[in-house]
Amino acid sequence: MLHPHQGFLSRLTNGILPVVSLASLLLGGAALASGGEHAAGAHEALTPNAPVLFHVGPLPVTNSMVLMWVVSAVIILVAHLATRNIKDTPEGLQNFVEWIVESLRNFLESVIGRDLTAQTFWFFASAFIFILTANWFGLLPGVGTIGWGIPDAEGNLNHISEPLFRGANADLNMTLAMSIVFFASWIFWALKANGLGGFLMHIFGPRGESKGVLKLLMIVVFLSVGVLEVVSIMFRPVSLSFRLYGNVFAGETMLEAMAGLVKPLAPIIPIPFYFLELLVGFVQSLVFMLLTAVFTLLICDHGDGHDDAHAAHEGDAH
C-alpha cells in the first residue's frame, strides 16, 4: 500500500522531469542532423521525418516536439493536481494516480525484484507513462489533420503536408532520445551494482569451473562471446528506438490511408483501427518498459534479487 504522506507521487514527478527534459534536448540535436523542412505537398502520405515548424535560435522545432511538450505539460499538471493536497485516504484524482503508480511498482517488483525496483522505478514508470500518454495523444482529433498544405487547382486542400501536431513517438528523434537516456542509465546502474571490474567480468569473464587447457580455451571462448555481447549492448538503443518508432509510425500511416480510402466516409472508416491503435499504444509502452527492465536485471542481478523480493512479499503477507 502506498503512503501518500511520504510524497511518493512527487518523487515520481521529479523522475519524469529529467527524462523528458533530456529527451527534449537530445531530440533537438537529432533534429538538426535529420534534415530540414521538406517541400510542402511533396508527399501524399505521412513523411518519415517530422516537418520543422519554426526555430528557437539555432534549434529547429518540429511538430512532434510540440506534441511532446504538450504531453509533458499534461503529465506534470496531472501529477501536480494529484499531489497538491495529499490525503491519507486518497480520493478522486489522487486515488487514480496512486493506483497507476502502485500497479506499476508491484508489476516491476514481480519482474526485477524489490531492491532493483527501488533504484530504477523512476525511469521505468516515467518511460511507460510518457510513452503511453504520447501514443494516445497522437490519436486525438486534430493531431495530423490541422496544419498547412498546398491546395489543388480547384482550391481544395486534400492533404496536410505540415501538420501542427504529430505523434511524438512517430518521430525517430524522440524514440532514439529515450533509448539513449536508458542506455546512459543502464551503464550507471551496471557500474553501481558490479563496479568496473565486475561489469567487465560479467561481459567477458568465463563461467563455470575448469582447469588447465580447458580453462584457457574457455577464456578465449568467453572473450569472443563478450565481444558479441558488447555489439549487442551497443545496438540496444537502436533496436528499442526503431521498435517503438516503427509501430507508432505504421499505425499513423495506416490511419491516414484508411481516412483517404473513401473521402465521403473518411471520418467513419478509421474508427475500428483507432481501437486497435489504442491497444498497440499500450502494448508498445509496456514492451519498452519491460525490455529496459529486463536488460537492467540481467546486468545487475546476482542471483538473489528475486528470492529477496519474494521473501519480502511472503513476509508482508504473513
Number of domains in the chain: 1
Higher pLDDT, 93 or 219: 93
pLDDT band at 147 (very low <50, low <70, confident <90, very high): low
51-88 burial string, b = 16+ CB within 10 Å, else e? Answer: bbbeeeeebbbbbbbbbbebbbeebeebbeebbeebee
Reported as a single tens digit per residue, the pLDDT across 158-217 is 666 667 778 888 888 889 999 999 999 999 998 888 888 888 887 877 666 666 666 677
According to the model, what pLDDT value does residue 8 have?
Answer: 46
CA distance 317 to 155: 69
Task: Please say whether the beta carbons of 81 and 98 come within 8 A.
Answer: no
Asked if residue 104 has pLDDT above 90, the reply is yes
CA distance 311 to 108: 16
CA distance 285 to 291: 10
pLDDT > 70 fraction of the chain, expressed in percent and rounded: 70
According to the model, what pLDDT value does residue 138 have?
Answer: 84
**Residue ranges making up the domain that contains 136:** 4-171+185-317
Higher pLDDT, 33 or 224: 224
pLDDT > 90 fraction of the chain, expressed in percent and rounded: 25
According to the model, what pLDDT value does residue 67 have?
Answer: 87
- Matching residue, cell 498546398: 150
CA distances from residue 243 to 171, 222, 287, 291 in whole angstroms, order as listed: 12, 29, 9, 11
Task: Please say whether the beta carbons of 63 and 165 come within 8 A.
Answer: yes
CA distance 266 to 175: 30
CA distance 205 to 213: 16
Q: Tell me the CB-side half-sphere exposure of residue 19, using CA atoms within 13 A.
A: 27
Domain for residue 206, yes or no? yes
Instruction: Give this prediction's pTM.
Output: 0.76
Mean pLDDT of the chain: 76
Query: Rounded to an integer, what is the distance from CA 277 to the centroid of its chain?
Result: 16
Instruction: Please give the average per-residue pLDDT across 5-26, as a whole number.
Output: 48
User: Among 41-50, 128-137, 229-238, 256-265, where is mean pLDDT lowest?
Assistant: 41-50
CA distance 234 to 262: 45
Task: Please say whether the beta carbons of 180 and 26 come within 8 A.
Answer: yes
According to the model, what pLDDT value does residue 188 have?
Answer: 92
Domain for residue 177, yes or no? no
Domain for residue 278, yes or no? yes
Highest mean pLDDT among 19-28, 35-44, 104-113: 104-113
CA distance 138 to 262: 22
Domain for residue 63, yes or no? yes
Domain for residue 116, yes or no? yes
CA distance 227 to 233: 10
Look at the alpha carbons of 256, 262, 266, 270 in this order and tell me if their dihedral is positive or negative: negative
Reported as a single tens digit per residue, the pLDDT across 246-302 is 888 888 888 878 877 777 777 788 888 888 889 999 999 999 999 999 999 988 875
Tell me whether residue 275 is exposed, middle or buried, using C-beta atoms within 10 angstroms of its C-beta: 0 to 12, 13 to 18, 19 or more. exposed
Higher pLDDT, 121 or 4: 121
Instruction: Please give the average per-residue pLDDT across 62-78, as a whole number.
Output: 89
Pairing of strands 147-148, 52-56: unpaired
Q: Which residues pair with residue 56 across a beta bridge? A: 59
Kind and range of the H or E run holding 102: helix 92-112
User: Among 84-88, 124-128, 292-296, where is mean pLDDT lowest?
Assistant: 84-88
Phi, psi of 97 (to 5 degrees): -65, -40
According to the model, what pLDDT value does residue 88 have?
Answer: 80
Domain for residue 176, yes or no? no
According to the model, what pLDDT value does residue 316 have?
Answer: 47
Asked if residue 150 has pLDDT above 90, the reply is no
Q: Which cell numbers hold the place of 97? A: 494516480
Domain for residue 180, yes or no? no
CA distances from residue 286 to 127, 140, 289 in whole angstroms, order as listed: 9, 21, 5
Rg (CA), the chain: 23
According to the model, what pLDDT value does residue 184 have?
Answer: 92
Domain for residue 236, yes or no? yes
Look at the alpha carbons of 51, 155, 261, 278 in this order and tell me if their dihedral is positive or negative: positive
CA distance 91 to 276: 31
